[in-house]
């Protein structure tokens, strides 16, 4: 479980940095600059340590550099508010890759229910698209406080809830499969 959270932290490091700095400073330009620097720093550290970077890490780095640079260049609040939806759509598209989620799963899950993991990966992709459309809808109101609430609380809360549901479902399904296998072996 700790490995899953560590991997998610690595994959979304620059996004986490952006939200933290924005929450602390209230300045989108400073938060964007720090997030870009953090993403590049993370890439450099990984290269120095000769670590392999996964598609999600590359996507996160590309998004923070490209979209962050566009934010700094345009200084357009509407673009800044819609920017997280682009990240949700891009990540959702990456999550459409079959079996992307298997690398985040412990061995027991990978061995016992890989087909459930594949379906869950597609459900996560759908969630990203829904959150992206939600971000656009909230951004169009122009209310920065509502946007900040949506991006930092509602979107994050939806992901935490989805993770909890997934965990419970996987646990129930694996337990049932293992019990059924044990009953078949005992009979």
Locate the domains of the chain by residue range: 1-75, 88-187
Rounded Cα–Cα distance for residues 133 and 136 (Å): 5
How many CA atoms does the CB half-sphere of 53 hold within 13 Å? 21
Rounded Cα–Cα distance for residues 168 and 85 (Å): 28
Helices (H), 52-187: 55-74, 77-95, 107-112, 114-139, 144-149, 155-186
Spatial CB neighbours of 89, under 8 Å, sequence gap ≥ 6: 128, 129, 132
Rounded Cα–Cα distance for residues 42 and 61 (Å): 9
Q: What is the pTM of this model?
A: 0.67
Distance of CA 20 to the CA centre of its chain: 16
The per-residue pLDDT for 72 is 85
* Mean pLDDT, contiguous 10-residue spans, the chain (187 residues): 68 76 85 88 88 74 80 74 82 91 90 93 97 93 83 91 95 93 83
The string of DSSP letters for 85-119 reads HHHHHHHHHHHTSTTGGGGGS-HHHHHH-HHHHHH
């Amino acid at each position: 479980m700790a490995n899953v959270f560590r991997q998610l932290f690595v994959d979304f490091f620059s996004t986490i940095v952006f939200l933290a700095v924005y929450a602390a400073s209230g300045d989108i330009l400073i938060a964007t600059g720090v997030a870009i620097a953090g993403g590049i720093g993370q890439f450099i550290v990984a290269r120095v340590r000769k670590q392999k970077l996964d598609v999600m890490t590359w996507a996160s780095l590309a998004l923070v550099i490209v979209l962050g640079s566009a934010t700094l260049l345009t200084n357009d609040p509407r673009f800044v508010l819609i920017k997280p939806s682009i990240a949700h759509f891009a990540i959702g598209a990456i999550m459409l890759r079959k079996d992307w989620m298997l690398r985040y799963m412990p061995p027991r899950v990978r061995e016992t229910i890989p087909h459930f993991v594949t379906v869950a990966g597609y459900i996560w992709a759908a969630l990203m698209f829904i959150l992206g459309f939600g971000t656009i809808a909230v951004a169009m109101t122009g209310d920065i406080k509502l946007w900040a609430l949506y991006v930092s609380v509602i979107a994050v809360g939806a992901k935490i809830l989805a993770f909890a549901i997934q965990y419970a479902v996987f646990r129930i399904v694996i337990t049932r499969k293992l019990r059924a296998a044990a009953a078949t072996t005992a009979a």
